[in-house]
Amino acid sequence: MKKIALVTGANQGLGLALVRLLSRQWGEQGIVYLGARQRERGEEAVVLLQAEGLSPQLAVIDVADDASVQSCADLIRQRHGGIDVLISNAAARISPAIPSAEQVGEFVNTNNHGTVRMLRAFAPLLNKGSRLLVVASDFGRLSNLPVHLHHLFDETTRSLSDIENVMDTYARAVQTGTAQQEGWPEWINIPSKIGQVAALRVLAREMHEQARQRDILLDAVCPGLVDTAASRPWFNNMTEAQSPDQAAEDIIWLATLPKGTSAPYGELVQHKRVLPFR
């Protein structure tokens, strides 16, 4: 039976590189779905990889939309019965030229609620020996927040709905101009990444026993600085940045850890090393 994978946000940048590398590694042994929000761009990306001798399949999925995520999950279930590798990579871009209050709503809906949508829809489809990854960042650690906000992201007591509510409350604080007074970082990417990692850790806690019995790994992953259109506006010096293809290597290593691997589990991993959440 062929292995099944889905990478979201995969028509360009890091997501495209992930599909490329996984398709090369699996060859005829697996089917890799290239997830894209817009069908036309997804089809163009598939054609690009086909020209390289690869055979990804297109999955139209908008993580900002409940129905779209569920429809994609239903498609995977109907066609294959389950999934072996899920890489939740799709993310909205933000610009330093636009006030945060004008961007935070869509940003949180896509990056945070989108992550939770993926976790809820696809966790029930995880096959024995499967790997689920959320692409996040080393900004997604509690050390980047004031201590008085840490409890909001406590994965030992919070639910996925709790994390979503925290992110909605945070977004409203940005929109009303009270976020910095409450102690939130100025850059909206930091709370968003923390919310993503916290959501993954909540699911890992909830699935711990099942995951142990069925050889399932759930992790967040930080690729490091990657030279993409989303990163360039925020960093003046990109000389040390990786190419998307370079960054994909560590992520695919984590996504294809062999059967019987018990760790890392529920962690934030960068360059094959666990980063402390706290």
Query: Mind listing the pLDDT tens digit for each residue in 55-114?
Result: 999 999 999 999 999 999 999 999 999 999 999 999 999 999 999 999 999 999 999 999
Give the start-to-end residue ranges of the domains of the chain.
3-275
Note the pLDDT of residue 197. Answer: 98
pLDDT of 42 reads 98
What is the structure's pLDDT at 17? 98
Q: Is 97 helix (H, G, I), strand (E, B) or coil?
A: coil
Q: Which CATH superfamily is domain 3-275 in?
A: NAD(P)-binding Rossmann-like Domain (3.40.50.720)
Tens digits of residue pLDDT in 81-91: 999 999 999 99
Q: Say if residue 29 is exposed, middle or buried (CB neighbours under 10 Å; 0-12, 13-18, 19+).
A: exposed
Q: How many other CB atoms sit within 10 Å of the CB of residue 145? A: 17
Q: Which residue has the higher pLDDT, 262 or 231?
A: 262
pLDDT at residue 35 tops 80: yes
269 CB contacts (<8 Å, ≥6 apart)? 219, 220, 221, 222, 250, 254, 275
How do strand 273-275 and strand 268-270 relate by DSSP bridges?
Answer: antiparallel
Where on the phi/psi map is residue 24: left (φ > 0), alpha (ψ -120 to 50), or beta? alpha
DSSP labels, 141-152:
SGGGS-GGGGGG
Give the pLDDT confidence score for residue 239 in this predicted structure: 75
pTM flag (> 0.85): yes
Amino acid at 203: L
Q: What mean pLDDT comes out for the span 193-213?
A: 98
